[in-house]
Each structure stands twice: as structure tokens, then as C-alpha cells.
Structure 1
Amino acid sequence: MATNKVTTHWKGNMQFESDNPNGKTVLMDTSPEHGGHNSGLSPKAMMLSALAGCSGLDVVSILDKMKVKLADFRMDTYGELTEEHPKYYHTVTVEYHFYGEDLNTGKIQKAVDLSIEKYCGVMEMFRKFADVKTSIHYHNK
């Protein structure tokens, strides 16, 4: 069983720096109304970024193996928080946006489905506490 370890170090005020097993770091902070300076990503926003990043890596890798060319690809990820503390995402929506000429919608759909249903571990973690919705949007040039 694989174990990942990150070390998160308080940098003063409401700022934290967290490392990654590969040595890269990310800065976390909060908004001024919560005592921070907006100098980094908020922890909850990082969760949405992790979800999109995990699925995006899958999709790009699968499409590369399928020899599908894209001009651009982005994901818009939305999280709806509960009203009461502890506030957590009860509903999450991931919109996949693909840009290019003559997009192969069949292969793109298959790549996204494989990520959602089989490969993305972060997506599976989110399903443990949130209703996860996805959609695909094609932007042919």
C-alpha cells in the first residue's frame, strides 16, 4: 500500500507552505476577512484544483494514447459548500471544455468517462462526501 507524506509549515499570520513528495511546494492562505492576505490558494480551492488536476491528467494521457489532438483543454470546477460548520462541498460540478478543429467527440467522451469512472482517485474520494456532476463542452474552431 502506497503512503504519501506532505509537510505543512506555518509561515506566519494565516499562511502555510505545504510540500509535495516530489519536493515542490504550494502556498496556502485565506482571505483578509478571515485574517489572511490572499497570498496563496485556500485549502478548499486546492481540493477543487486537485480534483480537476487528477482528472485532467487522466484525460490528457488517454487522449495522447488515442492520438487525439486538441488546440486547448480546460476544466471549470465548482463546489457548493454546506451552510453549517464544518463547511464542506456537498455538490461539485466539473465542466470539461475541449477546443480544436474537427474534435473527435467519441474518443473525448471515452477519455473523460474512463477518468471519471475508473482512474481518477480524487474523483472517487469526492464521491464519498459530495454529489459529483460532470459535463463535456466541445468548442470546434
Structure 2
Amino acid sequence: MAHKITTNWKGNLLFDSDNPSGHHVLMDTDVEGQKREGLSPKALMLSSLAGCSGLDVVSILEKMKVKVDDFKMEVEGLLTEEHPKHYHTVTVDYHFTGKELNEERINRAVNLSVEKYCGVMEMFRQFAEVKTTIHLHNG
């Protein structure tokens, strides 16, 4: 299956990229004196990683009938010093909040995403060390 997108230059350093779903994202970068209107392409890769894994985890937890009150992921990427700069290490912290969280099933859901289902995670592994940690917050 192929995915095709079109990215259009909108002036200055702003680009508008579509998605097979029909939605759009604006991308640009830090330039002194210019207002930021979009997301950084490299940081957007980290968002893609979180989104891919998060979709897996939520779907698996629903099938397991596991309830959580809140779920968020914090992703940090460390860039190389030399050009072309790319992520060499990526850390994904999974945070779950709720009452009587089922640690075993939550761990299973995250591990299934990390090890089996998340294609973006697998892509990252081709060029970076990926570290994951699960945090349970009983509230």
C-alpha cells in the first residue's frame, strides 16, 4: 500500500502538506524575525511516533476492556551534532492515570505496540536507539 502526499510552499519558510485523510499540516522552522506558523518537521516526526503508538495502545486497551482516566506520551529526541542532524536517541514515556490501574494489561498493551504493531517505532529503530518507560499514576 502506498501513501502519497503533496507539500506546497506558502512563502518564506512555510509549507502546507496534505495527508491521504484529506487533512493538512503546516510546517516551518525558527527564523529570527519571522512568526512561526507551523510545526518543525523533525519534531513532527516525534509526534508521529507518539500518535502511532498511542493509537495502538488505546485500541488494545479497549479490546482488553481496560479503563484509564488519562493517557499521555512524552517523547524526547536527541539530535546529532553534525549535519545532516538526525535523532540518535529517542525516549518515549507513557503516562497513565486512573483508579485501580491494571498494570499487567497496560504493560502488555504498550509492549505490543512497541514490539509488534507500531510501524513508525520500527522506522525510528532503523536510525535511533528507542527507549520506552511506562508510568502509572493512581489518582
**If the length of structure 2 is used for normalisation, what is the TM-score?**
0.98
Aligned-partner Cα distance in 2 for 1:22–1:95: 28
- Residue 120 of structure 1 is matched in structure 2 by 118
Which residue in 2 is equivalent to 1:72? Answer: 70
- Asked whether the equivalents of residues 14 and 36 of structure 1 are also in contact (C-alpha less than 8 Å), the reply is no
- Number of aligned residue pairs: give it: 139
Q: Give the share of equivalent positions with the same residue, in percent.
A: 68
Once superposed, which parts of structure 1, at least 4 consecutive aligned residues long, lie more than 4 Å away? Answer: none
Q: How far apart, in 1, do the equivalents of 2:53 and 2:36 lie? A: 26
What residue in structure 1 maps to residue 11 of structure 2? 12
Structure 1 distance, partners of 2:34, 2:25, is 16
> Amino acid of the residue matched to residue 56 of structure 2?
D
User: In the alignment, residue 75 of structure 2 is paired with which amino acid?
Assistant: T
RMSD of aligned Cα (Å): 0.9
Preserved CA contact (<8 Å) 1:80 1:92: yes
Decide whether the 8 Å contact of 1:30 with 1:37 is kept in 2.
no
* TM-score, with structure 1 as normaliser: 0.96
- In structure 2, what residue type is equivalent to 1:3? A
Name the amino acid aligned to 1:18: S
Q: CA deviation at 1:92?
A: 0.2
Listed as ranges, the matches of 1:18-29 within 5 Å are: 18-29=17-28
Which residue in 2 is equivalent to 1:87? 85
Tell me, which stretches of 5 or more residues in structure 2 are unaligned? none
Superposed displacement of residue 36, structure 1: 4.7
Task: Tell me which amino acid in the other structure corresponds to 1:123.
Answer: M
Q: Which amino acid aligns with 1:29?
A: D
Q: Distance in 2 between matches of 1:136 and 1:83?
A: 29
